[in-house]
Protein backbone atom coordinates (compact mmCIF):
# COMPACT_ATOMS: atom_id res chain seq x y z
CA UNK A 1 0.00 0.00 0.00
CA UNK A 2 1.41 3.36 -1.04
CA UNK A 3 1.24 6.40 1.18
CA UNK A 4 -1.24 9.01 0.03
CA UNK A 5 -0.16 12.65 -0.06
CA UNK A 6 -2.90 14.71 1.54
CA UNK A 7 -1.31 18.10 1.06
CA UNK A 8 1.99 19.71 0.18
CA UNK A 9 3.43 22.80 1.79
CA UNK A 10 6.94 24.16 1.27
CA UNK A 11 8.96 24.62 4.44
CA UNK A 12 12.39 26.03 5.13
CA UNK A 13 15.18 24.02 6.70
CA UNK A 14 14.49 25.93 9.92
CA UNK A 15 10.88 24.76 9.96
CA UNK A 16 12.10 21.22 9.30
CA UNK A 17 14.52 21.51 12.21
CA UNK A 18 11.64 22.49 14.53
CA UNK A 19 9.50 19.58 13.26
CA UNK A 20 12.34 17.12 13.84
CA UNK A 21 12.68 18.40 17.40
CA UNK A 22 8.97 17.70 17.97
CA UNK A 23 9.35 14.19 16.56
CA UNK A 24 12.45 13.57 18.63
CA UNK A 25 10.73 14.61 21.85
CA UNK A 26 7.71 12.47 20.98
CA UNK A 27 9.59 9.33 19.88
CA UNK A 28 12.75 9.79 22.01
CA UNK A 29 14.84 8.52 19.09
CA UNK A 30 14.99 9.37 15.41
CA UNK A 31 15.18 6.83 12.61
CA UNK A 32 18.30 6.51 10.46
CA UNK A 33 17.21 8.97 7.75
CA UNK A 34 15.80 11.47 10.22
CA UNK A 35 19.06 11.33 12.19
CA UNK A 36 21.04 12.07 9.01
CA UNK A 37 18.73 15.01 8.27
CA UNK A 38 19.19 16.27 11.83
CA UNK A 39 22.96 16.09 11.40
CA UNK A 40 22.74 18.07 8.16
CA UNK A 41 20.48 20.68 9.76
CA UNK A 42 22.83 21.00 12.71
CA UNK A 43 25.61 21.96 10.27
CA UNK A 44 23.62 24.32 8.04
CA UNK A 45 20.63 25.77 9.94
CA UNK A 46 22.42 28.22 12.20
CA UNK A 47 20.02 31.17 12.35
CA UNK A 48 17.59 31.72 15.22
CA UNK A 49 14.08 30.46 14.41
CA UNK A 50 12.46 33.77 15.41
CA UNK A 51 14.73 35.66 13.00
CA UNK A 52 13.79 33.26 10.21
CA UNK A 53 10.05 33.79 10.67
CA UNK A 54 10.61 37.55 10.82
CA UNK A 55 12.66 37.39 7.60
CA UNK A 56 9.96 35.37 5.82
CA UNK A 57 7.35 37.91 6.86
CA UNK A 58 9.48 40.82 5.64
CA UNK A 59 10.05 39.15 2.26
CA UNK A 60 6.30 38.53 1.93
CA UNK A 61 5.64 42.16 2.92
CA UNK A 62 7.68 43.32 -0.08
CA UNK A 63 4.69 42.16 -2.20
CA UNK A 64 6.85 40.99 -5.07
CA UNK A 65 4.64 39.78 -7.93
CA UNK A 66 4.57 36.01 -8.53
CA UNK A 67 6.98 35.22 -5.65
CA UNK A 68 5.68 31.97 -4.14
CA UNK A 69 6.16 30.39 -0.73
CA UNK A 70 8.62 27.77 -2.00
CA UNK A 71 10.81 30.52 -3.45
CA UNK A 72 10.70 32.47 -0.19
CA UNK A 73 11.70 29.30 1.71
CA UNK A 74 14.65 28.77 -0.63
CA UNK A 75 15.77 32.39 -0.15
CA UNK A 76 15.57 31.96 3.62
CA UNK A 77 17.48 28.65 3.48
CA UNK A 78 20.34 30.03 1.38
CA UNK A 79 20.30 33.65 2.61
CA UNK A 80 21.93 35.21 -0.47
CA UNK A 81 23.80 38.37 0.45
CA UNK A 82 23.73 40.43 -2.73
CA UNK A 83 21.79 41.08 -5.91
CA UNK A 84 23.63 38.47 -7.99
CA UNK A 85 23.21 35.73 -5.38
CA UNK A 86 19.47 36.47 -5.12
CA UNK A 87 19.26 36.32 -8.92
CA UNK A 88 21.05 32.94 -8.91
CA UNK A 89 18.72 31.46 -6.30
CA UNK A 90 15.64 32.55 -8.23
CA UNK A 91 17.13 31.53 -11.62
CA UNK A 92 16.14 27.91 -11.00
CA UNK A 93 12.47 28.95 -10.95
CA UNK A 94 10.46 30.20 -13.89
CA UNK A 95 9.95 33.65 -12.42
CA UNK A 96 11.03 37.05 -13.62
CA UNK A 97 11.86 39.54 -10.90
CA UNK A 98 12.87 43.12 -11.60
CA UNK A 99 16.30 44.35 -10.50
CA UNK A 100 14.56 46.74 -8.12
CA UNK A 101 12.80 43.83 -6.38
CA UNK A 102 15.98 41.74 -6.34
CA UNK A 103 17.73 44.60 -4.55
CA UNK A 104 14.86 44.85 -2.05
CA UNK A 105 15.14 41.13 -1.28
CA UNK A 106 18.93 41.33 -0.91
CA UNK A 107 18.63 44.34 1.42
CA UNK A 108 16.08 42.59 3.67
CA UNK A 109 18.28 39.49 3.89
CA UNK A 110 21.43 41.55 4.59
CA UNK A 111 19.58 43.33 7.39
CA UNK A 112 18.76 39.98 9.02
CA UNK A 113 22.27 38.60 8.73
CA UNK A 114 23.60 41.24 11.13
User: Mean of the pLDDT values across residues 58-71?
Assistant: 94
- CA distances to 5, 21, 33, 94, 103 from 14, rounded to whole Å, are 22, 11, 17, 25, 24
Give the model's pLDDT for residue 44.
84
Work out the average pLDDT over 40-44: 88
Domain boundaries, the chain: 13-44, 49-113
Average pLDDT over residues 24-45: 88
pLDDT at residue 88 greater than cutoff 80: yes
pLDDT greater than 80 at residue 58: yes
pLDDT at 114 over 80: no
Rounded distance, CA 44 to CA 13, Å? 9
Helix (H, G, I), strand (E, B), or coil: what is residue 96? coil
pLDDT for the residue 1: 73
Amino acid sequence: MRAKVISEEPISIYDLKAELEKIKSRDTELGFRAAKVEEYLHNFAKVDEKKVHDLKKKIHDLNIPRLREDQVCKLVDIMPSDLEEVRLVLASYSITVTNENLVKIADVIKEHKK
